[in-house]
Each structure stands twice: as structure tokens, then as C-alpha cells.
Structure 1
Amino acid sequence: MLKPFIPDRTIRSRPSDAVIRAVVASARNVTDARGIGAERTATTLYPGQQGVIDIITKGTVTPTTSSADLTRQAITDLLINAGGATSGLAQRALSLQFDGTQSILIPTLAASGDHATFVAEAGTIPIRQLAIDGALITPFKLACAFLLTRELIEGSPINAEQVIRALINRSIALGWDTAVLSADAATALRPAGVLNGIAALPATAGGGQVAAVTDLAALAAAVGPVAGSQLAFVCSLSSAIKIAAYVPSLAFPVLVSAAVDDDTVIAIAVGAFATAANPEISVDVSREAVVHAEDTTPLAIGTAGNPNAIAAPARSLWQTDTLGIRLTMRLSWALCASGAVAWTENITW
């Protein structure tokens, strides 16, 4: 019999707990022979937590409902606290919601001190025309999937929550960073990386503190007209440690990403970086599927040909008493101004 899980009230609740607990409840329902349904399982495990029910029932059909608000908060919190550099950027960036729309056009306006001016009483106020050919953000499908044992799901709910949160955070953090912090062109699957079409600035020779400060100053100068004081550096962990040692009083955040090479540093005008998400996340659980256990180039289980191709290694969830968890959401990003990103590679420090 399922018993209510009463969270420790000394632990601060987060909006994204609704997503994690929706996964736990959906997985618990699959292992429950009574088949009472994920919604009822969630009600039993997490009484009074409407956000969990909304995730399970996809209570965001009408974007103006309170259900949409709870789900929107949960998804936003999940994304900005995943732990990657892009999550750190999203905390500071322009954050938008698709809310059923197929695209969002962000007008652009070049930075200028003339855009807000002092005028005389009854004087004519200048009106600036925004560029209507600004950044267009369209939603793309972000998905992650992983396997868990039945024993973990049927054990302590808090253990299951901690493991699932760690898996989701790691998946989103590195997957999002890999796509965003790249020089890859846009495809039918995702937007272009922020480095696409931008030439790297030459690195300073000689190494040491002088080279580090010179490189950081050059990057800041390149994006300064767009960034103002809203600037962030992105680099690997080893480079971040060196920056902290060489410039201990640096006034701008340094975001760490495993997707950035050790010899590369990126500067981004965070106010010109925009993200957009659909306020709905799909949670699916199976214990009977056969999956191709491959996280780089997954294939169909069987492909007709000459000869026929069989994906390997394949895993039967039923035979191995495991559960497959799959989450999908709609997400996108864009740069809203030219000159918002600069980067250098082959640093010598």
C-alpha cells in the first residue's frame, strides 16, 4: 500500500520539485499492480501538491490557468537550476514562454545613448523604430531518457527524487551547453550555437596573469557596446580557477561548462541572450519496452536492409526488471543583437 510521503519542511521546496515528483509518481504507478493511475498515485504520495498533478495531467492546455502558472514555474526552475553555464545565462537572460505560439519575434534596437533623452516640458519625445527583422525564436524538442531499477522506484521516495533530479540536471546541463556554446549552424533539430559565424579573437602570447587579463579585457571590449555591465564569461573549470587566481576581484560572473575546451573563453552579453520554453513537459514511463542502450548515436531496434541491421546493445526492460523514464519539452534560444558574443581560443595561460 502506498503511504503519503511527507517532505521535510526544513528543506526549502523548489518549483521544479513538481517535475521530479511527477516522474516518481508516474514510475510508481507503473510498478503498482493495482494500476490506480499516475494521478491518484501522485495524490497519495504527495497530498496537496497540485503542481505534481498538473505535470502528470498536462494541465496547461489553457495558458491562462493557474495550472499553466504552476507548470511554467516548475519548468523554468528546472532549466535555470540544471547546473550548466547555459542555465546560469538563462537566470540572467531574457526569459520567454511560447504559451501555444509557434514562434516569437524579438525586435532589436542598437544600443545608443539617444534612445532615452531629456526633453523640455511639452517637448517632442523621440520615438525609436525597432527593427522588425529581429531574432525569431521557434520551439525545438529537447528530450532525455534514462533507465532506473524497480527497487529504486519502490524504495524511499526521497531517494528516488534525489537520483532522478541528479540524472535530469546532468542531462539538461551538458546537453544544453553542448548545443548553445557551439559554433554549429542551425539545423532542423535545434538553433545555431552562439559562436556560429563569429571568428575567434587572437589569444595573447606569453601566458600568466598579463595574458589572462589582456584576453579578458579584449573579450569584454568586444561585447561591451551591447553588454554594458551585463556581461558573463564562460569557460572550463580549469580556466575558471585560473581566472579566480589571476583576477580575484573580477566584477563579472564566470560560468563553468564541461562543453567548453580548456583553451577557450567566451564572453556573452547576457541581456542580448534569450531563451523560450513551452509551459508543458511530457513525462513517460515504461517497463516493457526494448531500447537501444546508446547515448551518442541511438538507432531503431531493427532496420531493414541488405543485410538487415540490429541495434546493439539492446535491453529489454521487462527482462531486466528496470524502468525507462523519458522527458520531452519544447525549448529554444537566440541572440537578440549582433556583437553580443566574443570568444578566444588557444589561450596561453
Structure 2
Amino acid sequence: MTYTLERVARQATEAKELAVHTSRALRDLKRGTKSGLSGRDRFVRHAVLRALATGPGVTYEDVWRERYAERAATGPAMITTPNWATELAPVDVGEFLAEGTAPLALSRLAALGRSISLAGIGTLRIPYRPPLAEVGGWIAEGSPIPVDDLSVGTISLWPRKAAAVSVFSAELRKRAVTDIEALLDVALRADLASIIDGALVDDQPGSALRPPGLRYNVAAVAASTATDPLVAMRVDLQKLVGEIVAGGGSSPVFVVNPQQAISLAFVPSFSYPIVDTPAVPRGVVLAVDGPSFISGSGGAVVDASKDAVLHEDTTPLAIGTAGTPPTVAAPVRSLWQTDMLAVRAIIETAWAVPAGRSAWMEGVAW
């Protein structure tokens, strides 16, 4: 009972520290001040604190003091200490996903469009202007001015939850402490990229679980049959740009597999932005009107455990369900029994693009 009460008291203290830090962070943002750490560093440090503070009696403060506090400091690590508790709030998920050697395709595309905060948002309706047939004109003296069409369309955006669980050997805490930041950085980014970027470029509809893929409900443009790869490339790109312009767009961005990105690199003075990602199948090329692409991120949670039980499957089930007969998920892993550590990352994100502002083709010859 004493151990339980101590743990509850510690958790209450940590929650209070987090609330104080969040209030201070908001105040600093208003003042235009911010920690010298990058958003990526803060997010990774947050994951490190969560992962290393899983032992009995180990607190976030203990881990922070051991890894990040000045060794010559004699005072305790407190929320009044510069940077202390900054890493307790995973508020920099957008910067984490956008920075590093392998930023998400979503982040690179979002940088060319419009990004919004989805924190605390239920559903957000964003207006856009559809293609117009008449937009005024030249007039003679004393002649009436043609009336512009002021109608607008709207797209809806609401946060969906992307989550990943990464499992590591518990020896990570003992033997790879110096490299744990790099390891968690790469692992979390790779896991989230496979989920988010995979959905971004596919052809599946949106649902309560995920946003729609850029290829959903968009008919594929026929690829060129020219045998010369450069000729085929020119024809294919012209077709895709034509689709974007016809839909009311003006600034196409090409989203491609790295193989097609290499081919585009050989085009002299290619002026359109390119986003390459393995999530796009080879031979598939997408075009998106950059300014029309809307995306956002909301809350983020990073947790760690060495006591949980996991159903290791791509479509996990409840560990056990009642019924006749009762069913049990398999295979399962006990982190405690196998001395493993699991880090769980959950982020809220969403994206949307107006109809006609995306196009794609498959089977390109270059």
C-alpha cells in the first residue's frame, strides 16, 4: 500500500510540474523566447525520459539530472532550473517529424502548403475557392463590370490518431545509454513514417480512423507509352501539371518514389518541388497543388513500459475476450517475462486537399 501511495504521489507531482511547465512554455512563446533546443531534440529527450524512467523508484527528475543536468551543479533539478521539465511535454511533434535525416513526406508537403494546429479541435471547416469560369474582364468606358463568382467550397479537417509501439531489449538501458537518443529518434520516426506516409499516398478513403489518401477517388492519368524515358517523362509531367491547373491549382509538387526522384534529378533546371518517399510505390508519380494542401497536428503522447503484455500482430486483438468458447489473442509477449522495454508513441494528425488539386499516374517508364 505504501508503494502504491508513493507512486500516486509521485505521479501527482509530475502532473503538477507538467502543468507548470506548459503554462511557462505558453508564456515564453508569447514573449518570443524559447529554449535553445530544437523541437526534434525536445521530443527525443521526452522519449528518452519516458523510456529510462521505467525502473522502480526511478523518476523523470533522476533521469534528467543524470543525462542532461550540468555535472557541476549541486542543487536539485527543479522546474525552475533552465530547460528542466521542457522534455516532459511532447509539444514539438511537428518539428520532430519535419527535422532530421529522414523527415516525413507529410512534413515536407505541409511546409509547401498550409499548416494549422489541431490541438483541442473537433472538426475544422476550411474554405477554398473552386475553379471559376468567369472572373470579370476588360470593359469599355461606361460599361457594366462582369460580376465575379464569389462561391467557395469547404473541406473538413479533424485529428486522427496514429500510434506505434516499438519494442527494445531492456539491455538498452544499460549498454546503449550513450546512443539511446539516436536509436529512439530513428525508431520512432521510422515507425510513424510507415503509418502516416503510407496512408498519405495511398488510394484508401478517409474514415473515423484515418484521413483519405491523395489517390483516393482520383482516376489515374494514363502514362506515356514513349520508349525514350526522357520523352515519356516530359509527357507524363505535362499531363499531371495540366490536371492540377484544370482543377484550379497553380503550384504543383511531385511526390515520388526515390527511384523516380533520381530520374527527375537529371532534368536540367527542374523548378518544381519534389518530395520523395519509399511509401510511394515504384513507377507511381503523384502531383499535388502545394498551396492547396492543408495539414495539421494536435496532441502527442509518448509512454514506456516494461510490464505490459502485447499481442504481436499487425491487427492486434484484445488479449482475451469472453464467449463460448472464449478467445485468446496469440502470440503475446510479456515485457516483464522477456525483460523487454516498449515505447509507445501516439500523435494526432490530419490532412486534406480540395477535389481536383491532386493527380497521379502509375507505370511510368522513367
Q: TM-score range by the shorter chain?
A: 0.7 to 0.9
* Residue pair 1:232, 1:252 contacting (<8 A) in 2 also: yes
After superposition, the C-alpha distances for 1:293-337 in whole angstroms (9 at most, x for unaligned) are: 22x2222222344544333322111111111111112111111x3
Task: Pick closer, same or farther for the CA change 1:160–1:232 going to 2, 3 Å.
Answer: same
1:319 maps to a residue whose letter is Q
- Please point out which of 306, 311, 320 is paired with 1:302: 320
**Which residue in the other structure is 1:255 paired with?**
275
Q: Once the 2 structures are TM-superposed, how far is the Cα of residue 198 of structure 1 from its aligned partner?
A: 0.7
The alignment status of 1:293 with 2:312, answered yes or no, reads yes
Where do 1:15-30 residues align within 5 Å?
Answer: 15-30=39-54
For residues 209 and 194 of structure 2, the distance between their equivalents in structure 1, rounded to whole angstroms, comes to: 17
Amino acid at match of 1:348: A
Report the Cα distance in structure 2 between the residues aligned to 1:197 and 1:83, rounded to whole angstroms: 27
Q: 5 Å matches for 1:52-131?
A: 53-54=85-86, 56=88, 58=89, 72=91, 74-81=92-99, 83-110=103-130, 129=150, 131=152
2:334 matches 1:312: no
Deviates more, 1:199-208 or 1:249-258: 249-258
2:167 matches 1:147: yes
Which residue does the alignment assign to 1:344?
A: 361
CA distance in structure 2 between the aligned counterparts of 1:106 and 1:192, rounded to whole angstroms: 16
Residue 240 of structure 1 corresponds to: 261
The whole-number CA distance in structure 2 between the counterparts of 1:95 and 1:188 is: 21
What SS does the corresponding residue of 2:218 show, helix, strand or coil? Answer: coil
- C-alpha contact (below 8 Å) 2:94/2:107 kept by paired residues: no
Aligned-residue offset at 1:188: 1.7
Distance of aligned partners of 1:257 and 1:49 in 2 relative to their CA distance in 1, 3 Å threshold: farther
Give 1:111 deviation, angstroms.
5.9
Question: Which has the larger displacement, 230-239 or 82-91?
Answer: 82-91
1:154 Cα shift? 3.5
Q: Whole-Å Cα distance in 2 between the matches of residues 306 and 135 of structure 1?
A: 46
User: Against the structure 1 CA distance between its residues 28 and 49, is the aligned structure 2 distance closer, same or farther, given a 3 Å change threshold?
Assistant: farther
CA displacement, residues 140-181 of structure 1 (integer Å, 9 cap, x when unaligned): 111111112222124454400000000111112221111111
CA distance in 1 between partners of 2:149 and 2:61 (Å)? 51
- Maintained 8 Å contact 2:225/2:232: yes
Shift of 1:346: 1.9
Instruction: Please say if residues 144 and 171 of structure 1, whose CA atoms lie closer than 8 Å, have aligned partners that are also in contact.
Output: yes
How well do the aligned residues superpose, as a CA RMSD in angstroms? Answer: 2.7
Offset of residue 212 of structure 1: 1.1
Residue in 2 that maps onto 1:46: 68
**C-alpha contact 1:84 1:256 (8 A) present in aligned 2:** no
**Counterpart in the other structure of 1:283:** 302
1:176 aligns with one of 196, 202, 205: 196
Partner deviation per Cα, 1:193-241 (whole Å, 9 max, x = no partner): 121111011111023110111101111121135442x321111122222
Question: 2:340 aligns to what?
Answer: 322
* Residue aligned with 1:92, SS: coil
Between the aligned residues of both structures, percent identity stands at: 29
TM normalised by structure 2 equals 0.76
Is the CA contact 2:121–2:159 (under 8 Å) kept in the aligned structure 1?
Answer: no
Residue correspondences, number: 307
SS at match of 2:336: helix
Range 147-156 or range 253-262, more displaced: 147-156
Specify the alignment match of 2:287 in structure 1. 267
| Structure 2 counterpart of 1:199, from 219, 225, 239 | 219
Listed as ranges, the gaps of 5+ residues in structure 2 are 1-35, 70-80, 139-144
Change in Cα spacing, 1:49 to 1:77, as seen in structure 2 (3 Å) is: farther
TM-score normalized by structure 1?
Answer: 0.79
The CA distance in 1 between the partners of 2:65 and 2:295, in whole Å, is: 33
Q: Give the 3-state SS of the residue equivalent to 2:85 in structure 1.
A: helix
Q: Residues 147 and 103 from structure 1, CA distance in 2 versus in 1: closer, same or farther, beyond 3 angstroms?
A: same
In structure 1, what is the Cα distance between the partners aligned to 2:269 and 2:275?
A: 15
In 2, Cα distance between equivalents of 1:149 and 1:244: 41
CA contact (8 A) 2:283 2:362 kept: yes
Contiguous gaps of at least 5 residues in structure 1? 1-11, 59-70, 118-123
Pick the aligned partner of 1:218 from 227, 239, 245: 239
CA contact (8 A) 1:22 1:53 kept: no
Aligned to 2:179: 159
